[in-house]
Structure 1
Amino acid sequence: MDLFDDLPEPTQTSGPVPAELTARPQATKEEEEEEAAVEKRLKRKREDAECHADHKEERGGEEVKKVCKEGLPVLKGYVAARRGEREEMQDAHVLLPDMSVCLSALPGQVSCVSYFAVFDGHAGARASRFAAEHLHHNLAKKFPVENVDKLMKKCLLDTFRQTDEDFLRKASSQKPAWKDGSTATCVLVVDDMVYVANLGDSRAVLCRMEATGGADGQRRSLTLNLSKEHNPTIYEERMRIQRAGGTVRDGRVLGVLEVSRSIGDGQYKRIGVISSPDVRRLQLTANDRFIILACDGLFKVFSADEAVKFVLNVLQSPPSPLQEGSAEQRPRPTEEEEEEVRFEAACQQLASEAVRRGCADNVTVILLSIGF
């Protein structure tokens, strides 16, 4: 029996993006500054990559399995975070394109492991920061050494439980005890298999391109939801809370907590707020374009399909003068560098647009490009 809840067939389909749906307002000063910073970030990335390459040469034969096998996807992560109108930034995030640095050894048939995560804190930022610092290390300790696909769900369940227990132990030892909690949505990529584990209402969605079948060779985008939200208005979640002795008022646990699963929130654990994530898996294909991983601050003002269309529109826009170069004699960017600039811009603009649309919450967006 398969342990995983495999993703259902995609139900949302969108064709070529209509101009009236994707037109963006004139860039604000903040967006212009973000675009101006894009090349600086990319320059630093290139310099870091060169330093890492030099370091590998110095270490000689110590580097093993650092390059994915031919035909496997390469994921690159881009992140944008906005505080919104909140007094404190309570989100946290992790980007580990090469998680093998955390593993003692890669399983025999595995070539690449990547990890990306968003944590949306509430009642403080301590739970989200703790999860960002510790969850992937717990995952590395429990990572299967064989039968990866068969054992991965148990590994992720154990990892979330361990992280939650560790935080609750630390929280209860404080005077006064910490009341913080956090959602968690993690994307783990093992070669070409994606595992998504999530608690709460942060989400992950995939953009997959599909041929329309016409003679013009056009393709349409499919939006696949990779995660399941947990809030007390969902029947199964509400029933679990009520069986544990809790109540749901105004769509919240005890009229206070918006989510029904989380890391932390020790005061709600006895009334059915659990730390067991939903785990889903999906095999990536050459038609997959990107994954959006974001907290609910984004999805309060964007539907999943709208967010995918917004990113596609930025990726398909003509290069800005900044990308094309200036009067100064700068080397012409490569196709790969131009692609990185577009994804960086799409990520930053998506987060800024969420704030512009009136989201007062913290907004954190991770955009993962998928290349074969």
Structure 2
Amino acid sequence: MHEVHTFVSTCQAIDATVAAELLNHLLESMPLREGSSFRDLLGNALARPTGARCSPLPSPSAPVDDLCSDPEVVPEAELSAAPAEGQDLVPAALSSPTTAQISQGKEAEKGPLLFDGLPPAGSTDSGSGGPLLFDDLPPAGSGESGSLGASISQMVKNEGKGAKRKASEEEKNGSEELVEKKVCKGSSMIFGLKGYVAERKGEREEMQDAHVILNDITEECKPPSSLITRVSYFAVFDGHGGIRASKFAAQNLHQNLIRKFPKGDVVSVEKTVKRCLLDTFKHTDEEFLKQASSQKPAWKDGSTATCVLAVDNILYIANLGDSRAILCRYNEESQKHAALSLSKEHNPTQYEERMRIQKAGGNVRDGRVLGVLEVSRSIGDGQYKRCGVTSVPDIRRCQLTPNDRFILLACDGLFKVFTPEEAVNFILSCLEDEKILMREGKPAVDARYEAACNRLANKAVQRGSADNVTVMVVRIGH
């Protein structure tokens, strides 16, 4: 017994792993029977260390928190049985063995494990008695450092992966930022813009659409040369209730824009251009309503408006109503062309539009303002302006890139029978058609764009579009 206590004291003073190795070495040098007895003695001695006042070890099903109780709450029966200070603590199993302990001794003679709560080697079960003594140690020769060490190792490994992932993301973002800078830097070379158009009356008695193509109005706008080197303007207008509103907008909107365009140095070109567009739409609408109300009877015409103002390589898209602007951009990853919407449709069924109309005292019936008007924003339509219909456009900004092919502007007569993707693909197929012959005095590229506009407009009518159809394609030159 003295040797057992000596070995226990040694185990408590050294690392648990080293103690286990010493124990295995000691057991291997003993005969089987002596080794079994030594296991029992050592187990009891480790359970009740010398000089400590601990409660008896619980059963394997006891909670983990009960493995070592506070000495102040130890039952009196145990305190009375505790030895005097300085006296060796003798396990109860040696002083008065019970039948169960004798049975355990017989099982020990058969070679039981040191701690019978431990699972078999290689098992992942931690037993029913809570954490095991060395359950964080891996099997011998596994090369692992236990659950704690494995957790730390995994944590470091994950942090390493996170650092690599972060570095990879930063590298990716850096490369994207570099590409963006290259694009912006390369944007000093202004992309050329040229518009082509085709229009069809369709089944309507009157052609109420209108359009404007101004490939270069830089001299008219007289912008500050230090900030702006090129200004272009393209627009389509879809009239309803007559041709006068769309015709008025086509004649006057760009003129008002030129007059309001910034002439001197400005702090922010973007903010100045947006304010210019807002004022231009408001002024044009007010001018038409003033003229319309002076007539006997008053004009009830209205019109949508979708305008693309190109300032150097930046597009400003301002629109009212359901005419649309689409950008064809090549995607290098998918190696396909995509149709990007540059404008926002305005119809009374949209939540924000309907709320504005209802707050103004109007209502939406059958998807129309007061059951009549199909659009919720327009130029003209004086009788609906007090019902929430407005001339304030949505304005969007788009930076042109070398991957951009063309811009499509069209009225709803086209998009009633074509999706944006279908229209873009149709135009692309026309541009790749080598059978289109060059007209006299015109380059082949111009002939193909003109043919694309005409073919698309014709196809829309063939598909059954009963509305006026206007198709405008703006070629982006590189």
- Spell out the pairing of 1:308-323 with structure 2 (5 A cutoff): 308-320=424-436, 322-323=437-438
**In structure 2, distance between residues paired with 1:138 and 1:318:** 42
CA contact (8 A) 2:328 2:404 kept: yes
1:212 to 321, 333, 337: 333
1:85 is aligned with what amino acid? E
Which residue of 2 is the match for residue 284 of structure 1? Answer: 400
Which residue of 1 is the match for residue 228 of structure 2? Answer: 110
2:239 to 110, 121, 124: 121
CA contact (8 A) 2:322 2:411 kept: yes
**In structure 1, distance between residues paired with 2:468 and 2:404:** 28
Partner-residue secondary structure (3-state), 1:186: strand
1:228 paired with 2:344, answer: yes
Which residue of 1 is the match for residue 193 of structure 2? Answer: 75
Which blocks of at least 5 consecutive residues in structure 2 are unaligned? 1-186
Q: Say if 1:195 and 1:248 are closer, same or farther in 2 by CA, change over 3 A.
A: same
**In structure 2, distance between residues paired with 1:212 and 1:317:** 25
Partner-residue secondary structure (3-state), 1:276: coil
1:182 paired with 2:303, answer: yes
**In structure 2, distance between residues paired with 1:104 and 1:318:** 41
More strand by share: 1
CA contact (8 A) 2:221 2:231 kept: no
**Could you tell me the TM-score, scaled by structure 2's length?**
0.59
Paired residues, number: 289
Which residue of 1 is the match for residue 458 of structure 2? Answer: 352
Larger radius of gyration: 2
**In structure 2, distance between residues paired with 1:232 and 1:196:** 21
Which residue of 1 is the match for residue 371 of structure 2? Answer: 255
CA contact (8 A) 2:306 2:318 kept: yes
Which blocks of at least 5 consecutive residues in structure 1 are unaligned? 1-68, 214-218
Which residue of 2 is the match for residue 199 of structure 1? Answer: 320
1:89 to 193, 199, 207: 207
Give the drift of 1:106.
4.4
2:207 is aligned with what amino acid? M
More helix by share: 2
**In structure 1, distance between residues paired with 2:332 and 2:225:** 36
1:95-143 Cα deviation digits (max 9, x unpaired): 0001124324445321110000000000000000000000001111111
Which residue of 2 is the match for residue 151 of structure 1? Answer: 272
Give the superposed CA RMSD: 1.6
**In structure 1, distance between residues paired with 2:205 and 2:220:** 34
**In structure 1, distance between residues paired with 2:294 and 2:271:** 37
**In structure 1, distance between residues paired with 2:221 and 2:276:** 14
1:270 paired with 2:386, answer: yes
1:240-287 Cα deviation digits (max 9, x unpaired): 101111010000000000000000000000010000000000000110
Give the drift of 1:155.
1.1
**In structure 2, distance between residues paired with 1:152 and 1:75:** 19
2:336 is aligned with what amino acid? R
1:341 paired with 2:450, answer: no
Give the drift of 1:71.
1.6
- Spell out the pairing of 1:57-76 with structure 2 (5 A cutoff): 71-76=189-194
Q: Say if 1:177 and 1:289 are closer, same or farther in 2 by CA, change over 3 A.
A: same
**In structure 1, distance between residues paired with 2:229 and 2:388:** 39
Give the drift of 1:222.
1.3
**In structure 1, distance between residues paired with 2:278 and 2:188:** 31
CA contact (8 A) 1:100 1:106 kept: no
**In structure 2, distance between residues paired with 1:109 and 1:250:** 48
1:98 to 197, 212, 216: 216
Give the drift of 1:209.
0.7
Partner-residue secondary structure (3-state), 1:271: coil
- Spell out the pairing of 1:2-13 with structure 2 (5 A cutoff): none
1:58-88 Cα deviation digits (max 9, x unpaired): xxxxxxxxxxx96211011000010001000
2:198 is aligned with what amino acid? A
Question: Percent identity among equivalent residues?
Answer: 64
1:154-210 Cα deviation digits (max 9, x unpaired): 111111000000000000000110000000000000000000000000000000012
**Bigger RCO of structures 1 and 2 (CA < 8 A, at least 6 apart):** 1
Q: Say if 1:368 and 1:266 are closer, same or farther in 2 by CA, change over 3 A.
A: same
CA contact (8 A) 2:210 2:246 kept: yes
Partner-residue secondary structure (3-state), 1:230: coil
344-353 vs 140-149, which moves further: 140-149
1:170 to 284, 287, 291: 291
Partner-residue secondary structure (3-state), 2:196: strand
**Could you tell me the TM-score, scaled by structure 1's length?**
0.75
**In structure 2, distance between residues paired with 1:104 and 1:194:** 18
Partner-residue secondary structure (3-state), 1:131: helix
1:321-350 Cα deviation digits (max 9, x unpaired): x33x8xxxx89x7xxx11111111111111
1:261 is aligned with what amino acid? R
2:464 is aligned with what amino acid? G
**In structure 2, distance between residues paired with 1:359 and 1:203:** 16
Partner-residue secondary structure (3-state), 2:390: coil
CA contact (8 A) 1:102 1:137 kept: no
**In structure 2, distance between residues paired with 1:92 and 1:99:** 19
**In structure 2, distance between residues paired with 1:176 and 1:278:** 31
1:137 paired with 2:255, answer: yes
CA contact (8 A) 1:128 1:183 kept: yes
